């Protein structure tokens, strides 16, 4: 069967089955060509056949959508009644429901990255997770074998705060970084991201303002915005957030909370020094401003151990601390935690029980054994060595290919190098050009909407061969676009 007929047949099957409902926007032709590996004339021919059948149509806002009466066999007055009738104000069109939900969709670029990260053959230079080869597969297999050799506890729901065994193990782990937290002050979450969502929903009134570093990881997700919370960005220097800017910003915006990543900040990789942390705690304390500390990268130091977290300096119960196993041990295990005052974690636990009735009991059992058995500490030693080697290799490549094109930091831990281009350009255009060359990027505008000159480069995922090819290709693209 000719390629254009294969494509149109595939589209017809999706539309006729209801998988692609009326009003759904199709991906752009250029992206469709890339995904299918065909030229544009083939796609245009296929789409033309679908348009002639009345299955797709151009939309006023641009692009192409599935037609309102596009289901196979749908025609005449009955089809019209189905498309405009009994579903009330939304008209029975699933696309209307999709667009009216209260939770904001991801940014289009983030949606594209989330989808493209699973395509074979792309060099992932921005991915914020360890490469599969850095994950402790053999050690985790040993953990599961140990669990299988003993009677399993009942695989029922855990208590609202999470497995007591795991919370005790997390408490011991936190003490290594100076945080003294009783298990009753710890809530187990399905990853740190769920912790952010629970805090946004459970602690902050709609219309309130959160202060945060700019750029920041929080700008790339919509956990807080979907809850009606606004952001106010604070400037940074090489040592992190500037405390002397905090008081004026908090008073001006009537801020409800400060969010910060003091250790190996995402996306810049900046490490806040001990003096800056003390100053931040003093000023926030004087303002009565609660702090949400994201400690996702705290243990991923590559040179010297970082200062203790803000939570270790907290004597008033003013800091909520987020932690996770996703960045070091296993993203797929989906285990994180929130540490804070007992009334706060109980409130968040109540919301969690309303949403998912607790993290997986099997995952919690494995995580407890992982921590109690000393596997985590052993793995961190190996992981830091491998990440250090990857960081140094990427820095060498940047010296070779980006001298005169950009400047960059030398991160003391975490996953990221914050690349600052010497000139401005369209980051969207750069993203598309890099994708055409087989390189997937995280551009700076994901973390600061006004950014036009930064890239978050990750040395945690791509192999050395991929880094070698990807950095060279990226430099060539940027050279062409800046001239």
Domains and CATH numbers, the chain: 3-101 (1.10.10.10), 116-128+383-482 (3.90.1150.10), 150-376 (3.40.640.10)
pLDDT bracket for residue 20 (50, 70, 90): confident
Task: Write down the pLDDT at residue 483.
Answer: 67
Rounded to two decimals, the pTM is 0.85
Choose the weakest-confidence range: 37-41, 74-78, 118-122.
Answer: 74-78
CB 260 within 8 A of CB 212: yes
CB 195 within 8 A of CB 338: yes
Q: Which two tokens stand for residue 40?
A: 């544009």
Tally Cβ neighbours within 10 Å of residue 199: 27
Answer with the residue of higher pLDDT: 476 or 15.
Answer: 476
CA angle 194, 336, 448 (to 5 degrees): 55
Query: 195: number of CA atoms within 13 Å, CB side?
Result: 27
Task: Write down the pLDDT at residue 70.
Answer: 53
Q: Mean of the per-residue pLDDT values for the chain?
A: 91
Answer with the residue of higher pLDDT: 119 or 196.
Answer: 196
Flag whether pLDDT at 117 surpasses 80.
Answer: yes
Choose the weakest-confidence range: 20-34, 71-85, 295-309.
Answer: 71-85
CB 246 within 8 A of CB 234: yes
pLDDT digits (tens, 9 = 90+) for 350-370: 999 999 998 899 999 999 999
Task: Write down the pLDDT at residue 89.
Answer: 53
Answer with the residue of higher pLDDT: 146 or 34.
Answer: 146
Task: Write down the pLDDT at residue 323.
Answer: 98
**Rounded distance between C-alpha atoms, residue 201 and residue 323, angstroms:** 19
Task: Write down the pLDDT at residue 77.
Answer: 39
Interval 184-193 mean pLDDT: 96
Place of tokens 């299918």: 36
pLDDT bracket for residue 60 (50, 70, 90): low
Of 430, 435, 481, 443, which Cα lies nearest the Cα of 30? Answer: 435
Place of tokens 């405390």: 243
Task: Write down the pLDDT at residue 99.
Answer: 67
**Rounded distance between C-alpha atoms, residue 223 and residue 165, angstroms:** 29
């Amino acid at each position: 069967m000719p390629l254009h007929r294969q494509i149109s047949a595939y589209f017809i099957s999706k539309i006729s089955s209801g998988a692609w409902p009326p009003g759904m926007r199709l991906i752009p032709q250029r992206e469709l060509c890339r995904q299918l590996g065909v030229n544009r004339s083939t796609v245009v021919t296929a789409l033309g056949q679908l348009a002639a059948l009345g299955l797709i149509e151009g939309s006023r806002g641009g692009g192409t959508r599935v037609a309102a009466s596009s289901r196979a066999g749908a025609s005449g007055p009955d089809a019209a009644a189905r498309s405009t009738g009994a579903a009330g104000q939304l008209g029975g069109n699933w696309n209307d429901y999709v667009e009216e939900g209260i939770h904001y969709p991801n940014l289009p670029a983030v949606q594209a990255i989330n989808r493209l990260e699973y395509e074979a053959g792309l060099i992932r230079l921005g991915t914020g997770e360890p490469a599969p080869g850095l994950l402790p597969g053999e050690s985790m297999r040993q953990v599961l074998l140990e669990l299988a050799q003993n009677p399993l506890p009942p695989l029922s729901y855990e208590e609202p705060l999470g497995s007591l065994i795991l919370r005790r193990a997390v408490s011991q782990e936190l003490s290594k970084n100076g945080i003294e937290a009783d298990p009753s002050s710890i809530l187990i979450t399905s990853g740190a991201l769920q912790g952010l969502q629970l805090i946004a929903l459970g602690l902050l009134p709609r219309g309130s303002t959160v202060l945060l570093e700019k750029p920041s990881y929080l700008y790339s997700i919509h956990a807080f915005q979907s809850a009606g919370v606004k952001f106010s960005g604070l400037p940074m220097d090489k040592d992190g957030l500037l405390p002397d800017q905090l008081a004026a910003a908090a008073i001006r915006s009537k801020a409800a909370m400060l969010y910060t990543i003091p250790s190996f900040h995402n996306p810049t990789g900046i490490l806040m020094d001990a003096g800056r942390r003390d100053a931040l705690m003093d000023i926030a304390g004087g303002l009565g401003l609660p702090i949400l500390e994201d400690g996702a990268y705290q243990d991923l130091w590559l040179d010297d151990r970082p200062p203790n977290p803000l939570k270790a300096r907290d004597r008033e119960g003013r800091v909520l601390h987020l932690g996770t196993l996703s960045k070091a041990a296993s993203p797929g295990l989906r285990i994180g935690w929130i540490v804070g005052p007992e009334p706060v974690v109980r409130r968040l636990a109540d919301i969690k029980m309303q949403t998912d009735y607790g993290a997986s009991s099997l995952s919690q059992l494995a995580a407890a054994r992982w921590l109690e058995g000393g596997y985590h500490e052993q793995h961190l030693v190996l992981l830091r060595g491998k990440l250090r080697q990857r960081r140094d290799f990427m820095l060498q490549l940047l010296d070779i290919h980006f001298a005169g094109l950009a400047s960059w930091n030398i991160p003391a831990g975490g996953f990221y190098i914050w690349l600052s281009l010497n000139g401005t350009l369209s980051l969207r255009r750069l993203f598309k050009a890099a994708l055409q060359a087989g390189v997937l990027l995280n551009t700076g505008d994901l973390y600061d909407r006004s950014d036009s000159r930064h890239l978050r480069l990750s040395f945690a995922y791509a192999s050395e061969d991929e880094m070698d090819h990807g950095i060279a290709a990226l430099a060539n693209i940027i050279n062409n676009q800046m001239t």
